[in-house]
Amino acid sequence: MLDGGFDILNLLRIGFDIALVWYVLYKLIMLIRGTKAIQLLKGIAVVLVVWGISMLLNLQTIQFITGQVISWGLIVIIILFQPELRRALEQLGRGNIFSRSGNSAEEIIQNEIEAIVTSCNYMAKRRIGALISIERETGIGEYAETGIPINGKLSHQLLTNIFTPNTPLHDGAVIIKNEEITAAACYLPLSESPFISKELGTRHRAAMGISEVTDALTIVVSEETGAISCTKNGELHRDIDEEKLREMLLTHLSFVPKASDKKTWKRRTGKRG
């Protein structure tokens, strides 16, 4: 026995208990990352902080109000987080919530980049207009809800087919999350910036608009010129070529490779650079 009254077995049990709780919390956070639930959790944290301050300073009115909010909080959480809770239970039932993905994060991002670049080049050569918004840290589910749900695995064939002229989904934006096309024919907010060139059309204004309110990376293929442009954080990069587009995708998506990783990726895909 140790001086504190704990033997090695008890210490290991406590350590395992703490590690398991943290792992479950981590998986739950990863499950709701990029959804509106994250913003709601921040709001709950603010309420708890205000309640703690009111307790310390003996602010009885604020303490009463926040106490009531906390008392009814469990029911409110169940109502607000119903989609996320249902998804978590479904994944738990399928045994997916604690399983590791068959592909590494690097391979997923590489496949996503290659599909997007191939599709954009195909459409640019044929002057097929396109608007593609890629979700990053800030969730853009509210904009995906304005379109038609797809929820299909990302491929350059599917992406190109969506924007083919005279098809039902070719107008509007495609929203991509992870390695899936979430929705098509989506409406994005138009930028009101007076600095956008008058020669740019609605697609470019929509790409600028979404980049001003989220951290999404948005790609535009011009129907008039076939030029490819890209927006992020309110900045517009015009007339970029294949290598520049690939470099921007590599830089701004979740997997940020080193220079040596870019060379390795080019060797795997047979691209020169």
**Domains in the chain: boundaries:** 8-94, 105-269
Task: Please check whether residue 210 is in contact with residue 199, taking contact to mean a CB–CB distance below 8 angstroms.
Answer: no
Q: Which of 72-76, 137-141, 193-197, 202-206 has the highest mean pLDDT?
A: 202-206
Q: What is the pLDDT of residues 7-58, one digit of tens each?
A: 788 888 888 888 888 887 777 777 666 566 666 777 778 888 888 888 888 8
Question: Rounded to whole angstroms, how far apart are CA atoms 22 and 30?
Answer: 12
Average pLDDT over residues 214-221: 93
DSSP single-letter state for residue 194: T
Q: Give Cβ neighbours of residue 185 (< 8 Å, ≥ 6 apart).
A: 147, 148, 168, 169, 170, 171, 172, 173
Question: Rounded to whole angstroms, how far apart are CA atoms 13 and 191?
Answer: 56
CATH entry 3.90.1150.110 includes domain 105-269: no
Question: Rounded to whole angstroms, how far apart are CA atoms 261 and 267?
Answer: 10
187 pLDDT band (50/70/90 cuts)?
very high
Task: Please check whether residue 223 is in contact with residue 128, taking contact to mean a CB–CB distance below 8 angstroms.
Answer: yes
78 pLDDT band (50/70/90 cuts)?
confident
User: CA dihedral in degrees (215, 216, 221, 222; nearest 10)?
Assistant: -50
115 pLDDT band (50/70/90 cuts)?
very high
Q: How far is CA 123 from CA 41, 128, 220, 221, in A?
A: 41, 5, 10, 7
Least Cα distance to 260 among 155, 106, 154 occurs for 106
Residue with tokens 């195909």: 122
Higher-scoring residue by pLDDT: 213, 30: 213
Q: Give Cβ neighbours of residue 33 (< 8 Å, ≥ 6 apart).
A: 137
Q: What is the pLDDT of residues 233-273, one digit of tens each?
A: 888 999 898 889 988 888 887 543 444 444 444 454 444 43
Question: In this structure, how many other beta carbons lie within 10 angstroms of the beta carbon of residue 199?
Answer: 9
Q: What is the pLDDT of residue 262?
A: 47
- 209 pLDDT above the threshold of 80: yes
